[in-house]
Structure 1
Amino acid sequence: MRVLVRLLPALLLPCLLAACIFGGGGDRPTPRQSARQSARPAPSAPTSRETRQCEANLTRAGYSFRSLPDRDFGGGCSINGAVQLLDIGVPVTGIKAMRCGLADKFTGWITHGVRPAAIQILGSDVVRVETFGTYACRNIRGNAAYSTKRSEHASANAVDISGFTLADGRHITIEKDWNSSDPQIRRFMEIIHRSACKRFRTVLSPDYNSAHYNHFHMDMGGGTFCR
């Protein structure tokens, strides 16, 4: 027994070193991730009760939408508890199925974040929001560490924002205006990005990686991350 006690530290040391070298804490944020990242399990599909409450919230806010049937496409791709937004006070291109919780956050962001910021900072309201879509049965792109995992797009739980058209005719896009030479446009981008980070669980901008050079990715998946 005494021999075992003396040997125990020597036996444990390689294990401790291995944990440091190979990242025994697999859920820890990588150096590219911000302090907002927290390890949370990915949320399961919403229950019918959660979806009904969410739809009631959208109705109470005055948005027009239609409920969509649940569908399982196989391979980890499905649509559950989703809606299609029909009228949120401003036209939105490219959106079809959105998980209701995502739609709730998205409408709030446009109504209480994007449009007021455009009026206050740029002096003109948003008359069209442009997106690259919501549902897509695919894996995560732009991050090799997660390339084998399904994107939140695969469950209609993400939306990609590409630009805005203002009432005065200006066309503002993430691609050309994220680092605009116009300080007011840069301020607008900063404010709406910050507003998105307060609402969505994950927000990725062109500052995150090259795969997001032309859009904001926003989803309601597990964990919280803003970049």
Structure 2
Amino acid sequence: MHLVSRRFFALLLPFLLTACIFGGGREERRPAPRPRGSGPVTLTGQTPPGTQQCFADLSRAGVRFSPLPDRDYGGGCLVLGAVQLLDFGTPTAGLKAIRCPTARAFVGWVQYGVGPAARQILGSDVVRIESYGSYVCRGIVGQGSAGSAKLSQHGLANAIDIGGFVLADGRRISIEQGWRSGDPAVQQFLQVVHRSACRRFKTVLGPDYNAAHYNHLHFDMGGRGDFCR
């Protein structure tokens, strides 16, 4: 019996080691960190199935996008499985590289959260969204100096910051001015789109979180659990 057990373990050991080496089935291939400012370096390899499925989901939703090459920018900043959104029905300023799952969540938020909320609460369509960007290689704002702060999800192209909305009737609804606006409809709209984002992203931060977010909503797909503030 013991001999059979030893033989079984010997046969199983290579598969256990393989699982450890490749992260227990994780798709993402992360190279060893390189010094910041030493990139970019284009990474080669097959597109993981999860990323391929995300591309298919965007195409099925009628989204025009361009897949971007995987790149290592140094300092832990990586752009893996990212896209450039070209057209999904609502022009959005300032967007750069976005990891596909984050882009998919963002498109869903705009189409099924922002659009209906604007029509129902404000009586007008959103014709433009103002973004403060997606990818940038930096640490988390407010956590030490730029070189010592923990890497932001923006450094992984995994986050989007939204500053405001332009309506078809000419109104501009900004997070900075509207979050505590004297107009109850504007306040309601921003609260509704904030809650809608919490159902799609893993992390949602707004002006009620801290001073660094006084003028924008931050969305990302990082972290191990949902956090909505």
Secondary structure of the corresponding residue to residue 169 of structure 2: coil
* Matching residue of 1:62: 62
Letter in structure 2 aligned against 1:142: G
Partner Cα separation in structure 1 for residue 212 and residue 143 of structure 2: 9
Give, in angstroms, the shift of residue 142 of structure 1: 2.6
> Who is 1:166 aligned against?
167
TM-score w.r.t. the length of structure 2 is 0.78
User: Paired residue for 2:132?
Assistant: 132
Instruction: Measure how far apart 1:45 and its partner are.
Output: 3.4
Counterpart Cα distance in 1 of 2:191 and 2:215: 15
Residue range with higher mean Cα deviation, 190-199 or 147-156: 147-156
How big is the shift at 1:84?
A: 0.4
Structure 2: distance between partners of 1:67 and 1:217:
23
- Give the C-alpha shift of residue 151 in structure 1: 0.3
Listed as ranges, the matches of 1:215-226 within 5 Å are 215-222=216-223, 223-226=225-228
Question: 1:68-87 alignment to 2 at 5 Å?
Answer: 68-87=68-87
The alignment-based identity, stated in percent, is: 60
Secondary structure in structure 2 of the residue aligned to 1:199: coil
Q: Deviation per CA, 1:134-193, whole angstroms, max 9, x where unpaired? A: 00100011346xx62100000000000000000000001000001110001111011000
Q: CA separation in 2, counterparts of 1:140 and 1:109?
A: 24
Q: Is the 8 A contact 2:28 2:48 kept in 1?
A: no
Secondary structure, counterpart of 1:148 in structure 2: coil
What's the CA shift string for 1:22-69, capped at 9, x where partnerless?
A: xxxxxxxxxxxxxxxxxxxxx973762111100100000011000000
User: What letter matches 1:196 in structure 2?
Assistant: A
- For 2:205, the equivalent position in structure 1 comes to 204
User: Aligned letter for 1:51?
Assistant: T
Given that 1:142 and 1:209 are in contact with CA atoms closer than 8 Å, whether structure 2 keeps it comes out as no
Q: RCO higher in 1 or 2 (8 Å CA, sep ≥ 6)?
A: 1
Distance 1:45 1:199 in 2: 21
TM (norm. structure 1) is: 0.78
Do the aligned residues in 2 keep the contact of 1:142 with 1:210 (CA within 8 Å)? Answer: no
The Cα offsets for residues 73-129 of structure 1, whole Å up to 9 and x where unpaired, read as 111001000000000101000001000000000000000000100000000000000
User: Tell me, which stretches of 5 or more residues in structure 2 are unaligned?
Assistant: 1-25, 30-46
RMSD: 1.8
Deviating beyond 2 angstroms after TM superposition, the runs of 4 or more aligned structure 1 residues are 43-47
Alignment of 1:2-21 (within 5 A): none
CA gap of 1:45–1:130, structure 2 versus 1, over 3 A, is farther
